[in-house]
Amino acid sequence: MKIDAYTKIILTIIAAALVGHLFKDAPIVSTAHAQETVAQIQKVDLVSVNGIAISDVISDSGNINQTNANLIAIPVRVWNE
């Protein structure tokens, strides 16, 4: 008995659907979970940038010294020890 191309395509689609049905509950991407431990706050103490004291740029009250306004963007590198 000769099976034509149409029947092969239909049977292939049915087979693929059955295989897909077997794996419908399997997670493709694992579930993400939040961090369970409380993150610690890292204390950062900036003293100077390129040899210029931070107190020369920003006063204790938060005012910016306009003569050193080019230092407003302060580069910061943070790492855990």
30, part of any domain: no
pLDDT of residue 10: 92
**Number of domain units in the chain:** 1
Q: Which tens digits make up the pLDDT trace of 7-66? A: 999 999 999 999 988 888 877 777 777 777 776 777 777 777 667 777 776 676 767 666
Looking from the CA of 45 toward its CB, the CA atoms found within 13 Å total 1
Q: Which domain holds residue 57?
A: 42-74
Cα–Cα distance between 81 and 74 in angstroms, integer? 22
Cα–Cα distance between 50 and 67 in angstroms, integer? 16
Cα–Cα distance between 43 and 76 in angstroms, integer? 13
Within 10 A of 57 (CB to CB), how many other CB atoms are there?
19
50, part of any domain: yes
49, part of any domain: yes
